[in-house]
A = this chain, B = another copy of it.
Amino acid sequence: MAKDKKMVQAITSMEEDFAQWYTDVVKKAELIDYTSVKGCMVIKPAGYALWENIQKELDRRFKETGVENVYMPMFIPESLLEKEKDHVEGFAPEVAWVTHGGLEPLQERMCVRPTSETLFCDFYANEIQSYRDLPKVYNQWCSVVRWEKTTRPFLRSREFLWQEGHTAHATAEEAQERTEQMLHVYADFVEDVLAIPVVRGRKTDKEKFAGAEATYTIEALMHDGKALQSATSHNFGDGFARAFNIQYTDKENKLSFVHQTSWGLSTRIIGAIIMVHGDDNGLVLPPRIAPTQIMIVPIRQQEEAVANKVEEIKARLAKKFSVKADFSDKSPGWKFAEQEMRGIPARIEIGPKDIEANQCIVVRRDTNEKITVSLDEIESKMEEILETMQKDMFERAKKHRDAHVYDAKDYAQFKQIMDEKSGFVRAMWCGEEECELKIKDEIGATSRCMPFEQEQLTDTCVCCGKKAKALVYWGKAY
């Protein structure tokens, strides 16, 4: 029993210490574990099953837009990494270097990919000759390495899993279209499937990706009021194409540079699921992404009639849902607590009295609401309950997010909000990096994005008082 006990021991409460609550949840919901490899995690079955579901759903949405999957080498020779100036400056300080192959030193050292723009560019330079070869809309699912100093499960680790899409187009317009299209694919997925509302917008130049002309982002608000960049999509213009000489002949036989994009979403998003939906009993998983959607807990499982009925109901539900039954030798109370910790969306309790009444008790993980359901209608009712729960979880997260968005009309107000509250602050900005730096230093907020839906809160920059150019979402970020 020792091990079960460990799981259902109370975790730190969110209000008391959010960071400790987070660490407790990832460990006790058995999503990850630490390893002997500093800064790297093991993703355990419950965590990896989540990632598999994310992959499956996102990959399907990618393919609907014409994306094809490929696999590039994990190593980048130093000379290749250095070809695009901004890019190498952004990444070189945080890569892992391979210097020896077997017993011999390498002629040229290679880094483990922190991202694969340079590899795709090198490949496209050979692969693309004519307009007939365009567009290329490739993606890969892989792991990447960034040598971070401080790490946190899912949010920041030296190795993480992600997908990175890399495309090449004939025109600037097409590249811009693809950049925005993929941002919306991410946003729709995160909202519809993960039940996390996001702000869609553009990064300021200071915050954009190393080597990009423009970076677009979706930003989500965690329960503690901090922002989490949940996916990004970059338009490179022809910058990389010029550095790597990726040219094509058009229909008039004229040579032009291609226009490129890249876009990615990583296991970091699992951190967002935890921090948006979780509560003091553990993880809460949206039904559409939960590896196990329903757990049936038999009451008095030693009675044959109960065991049989549970198996029957499980078989019926298995046609539509991912369902398990817990026949382990723990008490029902232990089982309830375990499944709450693991975030399983719905629990069904069936005991002798329920069977007599031809009913069962369904308990929603998010609200703890108990619903009596006739066994005759179990399939349709579970569908209804899970759909409602999915919708409610999104609405609840949106309400929480909206309640933590503040407008700041001047600098003092901005400072006061950041000091006293947590969340997004909306304020106007002149477009100068100087103001961003000042706001970061003095107020402790970074620009999260310039939302697609722009408003004119004031005419002047919240910081310097010069003419405002854009509405910006500011916040403290993970």
Contacts and interface: CB of A to CB of B under 8 A. Distances in A.
Interface string A27-52: 00000010111001111110011011
Contact of A40 (B2, B68, B73, B138): B73
A73 to B, nearest CB: 4
A94 B102 contact: yes
Interface of A: 2-3, 33, 35-37, 40-45, 48-49, 51-52, 68-77, 80, 93-103, 110, 112, 119, 122-123, 126-127, 129-130, 132-133, 138, 142-143, 145, 147, 158-159, 161
The CB with the most chain B CB atoms within 10 A, among A42, A44, A48, A122, is that of: A42
Nearest to A140: B48
Nearest to A107: B38
A45 B73 contact: no
A45 B33 contact: no
- Chain A contact residues: helix, strand, loop or mixed: mixed
A71 B99 contact: no
Given A33-B127, A97-B99, A100-B99, A73 B133 contact: no
A244 to B, nearest CB: 11
B75 A122 contact: no
A36 B122 contact: yes
How many of these chains are in the complex?
2
Nearest to A38: B77
A36 B77 contact: yes
A68 B291 CA distance: 12
Contact of A52 (B42, B69, B97, B99): B69
Given A97-B99, A147-B102, A119 B73 contact: no
Nearest to A138: B45
Contacts of A132: 3
Contacts of A143: 71, 74, 142
Nearest to A103: B93
A52 B60 CA distance: 13
Nearest to A52: B69
User: A2, A71, A147, A161 — which one has the most chain B CB atoms within 10 A of its CB?
Assistant: A71
A418 to B, nearest CB: 31
A115 to B, nearest CB: 15
A73 B35 contact: yes
Contacts of A100: 96-97, 99
